[in-house]
Each structure stands twice: as structure tokens, then as C-alpha cells.
Amino acid sequence: MIREKKIGDFMEEFASSSPTPGGGSAAALSGALGAVSTCMVASLTVGKDDYADVQEEMEELIEATTQLKEDYLDLVNQDMKVFGEYMEALQMPKETSEEEEKRNKAMKKASIEATEVPFSMAEKSVEILKQALIAAKNGNTHAVSDAGVGAIEAWAALEAAELNVNINLAFMNDEEYVTEKREAMEALKSEAKELKEEVLKITNEKIGG
């Protein structure tokens, strides 16, 4: 699993012809980097006399971003698992009407699961951006650029997750589910964009960019 792998070995797997890890795993990994970049700002703020009034807030930020990092690493594994389940469903026999019906049900279930995993990544990206905004506003000014990096990584994770959501939706016949997910994804992206821009505005103002 992802936690036991060396980063170099994991990158080699990405570059290989193996279908997993793929784009969904890349999205989750980017999100995890966004979480830890944001966490670092808080870690460099806790214990500093100049930031005594935000100690509790920074401790809460560390707890939240640490959990988000763990969630994202779990999503790397989930992404690979649901892809495998989709491929298994795709390869099911369809010679008889009963087999075809069973295969169609399995494929629909697998397709929904393969959509929900990257959608969860997008939701968590918004949560990272909220934490990055707190870090940019109130964290150690000397580390504020890392809040900006966290926001950029979270935004990248969301955009990558969106691509994975959309490619799964493109092959679905459930119009109601497809419409619902596209609208939800657009709402998440709109909220995330506003948060990202605010974090970067604050970051650049503080570093003179």
C-alpha cells in the first residue's frame, strides 16, 4: 500500500504500463502534499511567542490537516481498488441475457464507486483550502509561502479529481446521477477557486509578490 512504498518506487509504477496507480492516485497524492504543506505553516507557528494568540487555532489546524493527509493516502489505495473492481466487472461474461444483466449491474456499481472516490478527493481539496486560508491569514509569516503551496496543491488535486469524475460520468447511462454529480462538482470547483485565489492574494501580499 502507499504508506509502505518508497516515493521513487511509486513514481516508477506511475510511469509504467500498469493501469494503476493512475490519474486518481496522482490527484490524491497532490492533495496529501497540499495538506502537509499547510500543516507545516501551523507547525512553524506553534510555540512562537509572537503568535501566542493563535496557538489553539494552529494546533487545531495541525490536527485537521494531518487527518486530511491520512484521508488522501487512503484514497490512493481506494482509487486503485475501485479501478480493479471496474476491470473485473468489464471482463464478466455476457453471452446470455442473465449474464449481461449481471454484468451491467456490476459495471454500474463499479462505475459509481470509481466516480465517488475522486469526488471525495475534490471535497477534501476544499477542506485543505479552508485550512490553507487560516494558515495564510494567521500563521507564521516566514512560512506563509507554504500556505500558498498548499493551496496550489489542493487546487491541482481538485482539477485532477474532476477529470477522473468526468471520464467516469462520460460512460454512464444514469442521466440523473450524471447531472447531480456534474452540478455538485461545479459547486465544489467554484468554492475552491475563490478560496485558492484568496489564499494566494494574502500570500503574495505578505511576501511582496
Of 108, 112, 134, 117, nearest to 38 by C-alpha is 134
Left if phi > 0, otherwise alpha if psi is -120 to 50, otherwise beta: which for 187? alpha
Cβ atoms of residues 80 and 25 within 8 Å: yes
Which residue type occupies 99?
A: E
**What's the start-to-end Cα distance of the chain, in Å?**
40
Domains of the chain from N-terminus onward? 21-204 (1.20.120.680)
- 21: cis peptide before it, omega within 30°? yes
Per-residue pLDDT of the chain (209 residues; tens, 9 = 90+): 556 667 777 677 767 767 676 777 888 889 999 999 999 999 999 999 999 999 999 999 999 999 999 999 899 888 888 888 888 888 888 888 888 888 888 888 888 998 999 999 999 999 999 999 999 999 999 999 999 999 999 999 999 999 999 999 998 888 999 999 999 999 999 999 999 999 999 999 999 86
Single pTM value for the model: 0.89
